[in-house]
Amino acid sequence: MKKILFIILFCAIFLCGCTQSTSGSVDELCNYSWSKTLDGGAEVRLSFDGDSAALTVDSAGERIEISGKCVIDDSNIVIFIPSLSLNYGFEYLPKGDQLDLTYGDGTITLEKEK
């Protein structure tokens, strides 16, 4: 119960999402969708819709999706999944038409979709 209350309180206080234009990095991140097809054929895609984000991975007929409300600052994105009481935090670094997305020790470079 405390975890759910903390998430709700955190969202209420700090939820700025992608709709608020406070930073060039946030704007660059949220104004585009980002994707990459890996050498093994897996497809990774990061997209935004208002104050929500979705990260999908399609590989060998399987799909994994992390989607929900998001909080973004100049270098981090957190996607909240209240129904599972989970959140996922990623570091990001926009580099023009590319975006480095880091989770733990792994980094993937996504390409801007035009």
Residue type, 79: I
Task: Locate 43 and state its tokens.
Answer: 């497809």
pLDDT at 84 over 50: yes
User: What's this model's pTM, rounded to 2 decimal places?
Assistant: 0.76
Q: What is the pLDDT of residues 2-22, one digit of tens each?
A: 455 445 544 444 444 444 444
pLDDT at residue number 24: 67
> What's CA 31's distance to the chain center, in Å?
12
Q: Which residue did the predictor score with more confidence, 11 or 113?
A: 113
Q: What is the pLDDT of residues 30-75, one digit of tens each?
A: 999 999 999 989 999 999 999 999 999 999 999 999 999 999 998 9
Please report the DSSP string for the chain in residue order.
-HHHHHHHHHHHHH--TTTS---HHHHHHHTS-EEEE-TTS-EEEEEEETTEEEEEEEETTEEEEEEEEEEE-SSEEEEEEGGGTEEEEEEEEEETTEEEEEETTEEEEEEE--
Considering only 2-6, 59-63, 89-93, 106-110, which range has the smallest mean pLDDT? 2-6
